[in-house]
Structure 1
Amino acid sequence: MKDDQLTPGRRKVLRAAAALGLAATAGCAGADPSAAPGPTAPSGAAAAGPPAARALKPSAYRLQPMAGHGPPRAPRALPRVRKAPILRLDRRDRSMVLTFDDGPDPRYTPAILRTLREYDVRAMFFVCGEMAADSPDLLREMADDGHLIGNHTWNHPLLPKLSRAATRRQIESTCDVIEHLTGEPPAWFRAPYGAWNRNAFQLGAEYGMEPLAWTVDTLDWTEPGAKAIVRRVYAGAAPGVVVLSHDAGGDRSGTVDALRTYLPDLLASGYRITVPNRYTT
C-alpha cells in the first residue's frame, strides 16, 4: 500500500509514532549520563528541594553524635543553670558517694580501681582531659567497670582567672576526650579547687553537665598519710555525703591505702557506696 493510499486514521498514527521517536532520540542525545534525575521548574531550572544540612563547625562539641546505622539518639535535656554546686545528695538511705579527682594516673588509679572492683563498688572520677588523653586505657577501664566519669577541665586551671572563651576550651576539649574514649558524654562537672563562677555554671549546663562539689574533704592532697584520711572519712560519714579524694596530682599512696581500710568498714557498717543519677531537682 502506497503512502497516498493510507486512510486518514492510519496517517495520524504513523505521524504520532514518528514524532515520539524523534523526541526520544533528541532526549538521549542531550542527556548527561552522570547527572542524577530530578524535577525541573517550568523555566527549565532544577526545582527547589529540601535545603542542605548546614555543616557543623569542626570545633563544635557534638552533644548528640550518631553511631552506626541506627536512628539518632534523642536530644539530652539540658540541666538548669545553677548558682551553687551540689554539695550532697538528698538521700534518706545510708548511701555515700566516693569521688576521685585529677586523674587518671597510671601510678595510683589502677590500685583504686582494683579495690573498688574487689568490693563491687562504683565511684565517680573527675578526670582532667590531658591526663585522660595520656592514659586512654585507664579511662576505658573506669567506664567498663561502671564508674561515672566527670569533667574536671583540661589541665586544672583556676577558672575565675580565665576568659569565657578559655573556660569553654577547657570544658569542651575534655568532653570531647571523654566521649571519644568511652562513647558517652560526661554528665557531671567539677571546677578545679572548687572555684566556681558564672561561666563555669553556664558552660557546664550548656554541655549537659551538673555541677558537683563535695561534703567531706579528706585533704589527701596535703599527703597526711592513710590514717588521717581514714579518720576524716569516718568522721564525715552520713547519708548522702560526697567524699573528695584524689588519684593524681602528687603522692597518692596514702589515698590508695586509706581506701583499702575505710571501704570495707563502711560497707560492714551498713553504708551503701553508690553513684548518683542525673540530678534533676
Structure 2
Amino acid sequence: MQKDHFLTRRRALLAGAVSLGAAGVAAAFAPGAGNRAAPAPPPPAAGARAARRPLRPSEYRLRPLTGYGPPPHAPRGGTPVRHEPLLRVPAHGRTMVLTFDDGPDPRYTPQILDTLARYEVRAMFFVCGEMAAYNRDLLARMADEGHVVGNHTWSHPLLTRLRRSRIRSEMERTSDVVERAYGERPEWFRAPYGAWNRAAFQLGAELGMEPMAWTVDTLDWTTPGTRTIVDRVAEGAAPGVVVLSHDAGGNRSQSVRALRSYLPGLLDSGYHVTVPRRQYV
C-alpha cells in the first residue's frame, strides 16, 4: 500500500451524503448524543502521558475526508447557522468516523489513543472543558497524533435549560482551553445529551463551529458489556457512519476493550476510519 507523507503538527492540523437540513451535509465537509450518564465527576489529577511509538501514517487509513464546496447561504468565510446537527459524513467509499465524548480522562483516554495509534487511525474527541483543563497533556497528544478535538461544553450541562449567556460561556471557555492545549480552536461542537436548541446552533456558528451528532450510538455509558458494544458498532457499520462512544464520564473500561476488538475488524472489512476536515472554497 502506498504511503503518503502526511505529518501531523500541533499548530498545523486539520483547521452524506445525508443531512437533516436543507443545506445538506456535503456543504460542511471538505473531502470528513443521545443520552448518557450523569455529568462527569470532578476531574481526576492528570496522569502521565502513555508511552507511544511514532505513527507511520498510511493514505488508506489516515487521509481526511474531502468535501464539496461552500455551505449554501453561508456568509463568506463564515459558518452557517443550521437547524439540525450533522449526523453523517459524505460517504467516500467505505468511510466511517469514530468519536469519543466527555474526556479526556487519564484512566481511559491514553488507552484509546494507544489503540488508535497501533492501527494508524485518527478519531474525533469531543472534550469537556473542565476535563481538558486538568489533562492538557492529553490534548497535546491528540494534536501530535492528528486527531480532531471538538467542543462538548465546559461542564456537560443540559443546554435547553440554560440562558444564552451561560451557553456562550460554556462554549467559549472550552474553546479557550482547547486552543491553548491543542493549538487550534475547535471547529466542531456536540451538545451534551444530544439536546440542541436554537441558541446552541447560533452560538456555535458564531464561534466558528459546525454541529455534529452521530449515526450509531453504542450506549457504552450504560456499561452493557464489551461484546454488546462491539456488536452495535458492527451492526451499524456503513459508509458515512459516525459512531458515538465515551472516554470519560464513568467507568469506560468496556469502551476501551470494545475498541480493541471492533477497530481491526472494521479495517479488515475495508472501512476507512478517518476524520472530517472542514473546508470552504
TM-score in terms of structure 2 length: 0.72
Structure 1 partner of 2:255: 255
Q: How many pairs were matched up?
A: 206
Letter aligned with residue 180 of structure 1: R
Structure 1 partner of 2:225: 225
User: Where does structure 1 differ by over 4 angstroms across 4 or more consecutive aligned residues?
Assistant: none
Contact 2:142-2:182 at 8 Å conserved across structures:
no
Letter aligned with residue 167 of structure 1: I
How far residue 280 of structure 1 moved from its aligned partner, in angstroms, is 5.6
1:176 and 1:273 map into 2 onto residues whose CA distance is 28
1:162 and 1:279 map into 2 onto residues whose CA distance is 31
Pairing of 1:10-159 with structure 2 (within 5 A): 77-159=77-159
Deviation track 1:136-163 (CA, whole Å, cap 9, x = no partner) reads 1011111111000000000100000000
1:111 and 1:167 map into 2 onto residues whose CA distance is 31
Contact 1:77-1:208 at 8 Å conserved across structures:
no
1:83 and 1:279 map into 2 onto residues whose CA distance is 20
Structure 1 partner of 2:31: none
Letter aligned with residue 152 of structure 1: H
How far residue 77 of structure 1 moved from its aligned partner, in angstroms, is 2.2
Contact 1:89-1:242 at 8 Å conserved across structures:
yes
Pairing of 1:258-269 with structure 2 (within 5 A): 258-269=258-269
Contact 2:143-2:183 at 8 Å conserved across structures:
no
Q: Name the one with the larger helix percent.
A: 1
1:129 and 1:185 map into 2 onto residues whose CA distance is 12
Letter aligned with residue 108 of structure 1: Y
1:158 and 1:176 map into 2 onto residues whose CA distance is 21
SS state of the match for residue 82, structure 1?
coil
Letter aligned with residue 180 of structure 2: H
SS state of the match for residue 100, structure 1?
strand
Structure 2 partner of 1:179: 179
How far residue 279 of structure 1 moved from its aligned partner, in angstroms, is 6.6
Over the aligned positions, Cα root-mean-square deviation in angstroms equals 1.3
How far residue 92 of structure 1 moved from its aligned partner, in angstroms, is 3.5
Contact 1:102-1:126 at 8 Å conserved across structures:
yes
TM-score in terms of structure 1 length: 0.72
Give yes or no for the alignment of 1:200 onto 2:200: yes
Deviation track 1:96-120 (CA, whole Å, cap 9, x = no partner) reads 0000000000010000000000000
Structure 2 partner of 1:278: 278
Q: Which has the higher relative contact order, 1 or 2, with Cα contacts under 8 A spaced 6 or more apart?
A: 2
SS state of the match for residue 176, structure 2?
helix
Deviation track 1:231-253 (CA, whole Å, cap 9, x = no partner) reads 00001000000000000001100
1:83 and 1:107 map into 2 onto residues whose CA distance is 36
Contact 1:79-1:280 at 8 Å conserved across structures:
no
Contact 2:226-2:254 at 8 Å conserved across structures:
yes
2:164 and 2:143 map into 1 onto residues whose CA distance is 30
2:141 and 2:234 map into 1 onto residues whose CA distance is 28
2:181 and 2:122 map into 1 onto residues whose CA distance is 19
Letter aligned with residue 181 of structure 2: L
SS state of the match for residue 107, structure 1?
coil
Give yes or no for the alignment of 1:243 onto 2:243: yes
SS state of the match for residue 146, structure 2?
coil
1:216 and 1:280 map into 2 onto residues whose CA distance is 27
1:126 and 1:279 map into 2 onto residues whose CA distance is 20
Aligned-residue identity in percent: 67
